[in-house]
Amino acid sequence: MANAMIHDIFSGQQNLTTTERAVSVVLGLGIAAAAAQPRPNKLLSLAALIVGAGLAIRGATGHCAVKAASEHL
């Protein structure tokens, strides 16, 4: 099951422009780096790390599932 999920995340046709990809990577890495700082609220840090990693992966692969789904509406 995990292999199918990984395949779904990293596969798909690229649907982001170069600018969208660059912004996603920069913001994602910035948010993930900020999440690494010690904070009193550990859940907030974890949420920021997940969001940052998701944005970085979105930019690295060039595929956004949300954007692809919204184009089919």
Is residue 5 pLDDT above 80, yes or no? no
Count CB atoms within 10 A of the CB of residue 24: 21
User: Taking residues 9-15, what's their average pLDDT?
Assistant: 75
Say what the pTM is.
0.79
- Tokens 């596969």 belong to 11
Rounded Cα gap, residues 65 and 8, in angstroms? 9
CA gap 73, 54 in Å, rounded: 23
pLDDT at 6 over 80: no
Q: Cβ(28)–Cβ(55) under 8 Å?
A: yes
Cα-based distances in Å from 61 to 38, 49, 52:
29, 18, 14
pLDDT digits (tens, 9 = 90+) for 13-72: 889 999 999 999 999 999 999 998 988 999 999 999 999 999 999 999 999 888 888 877
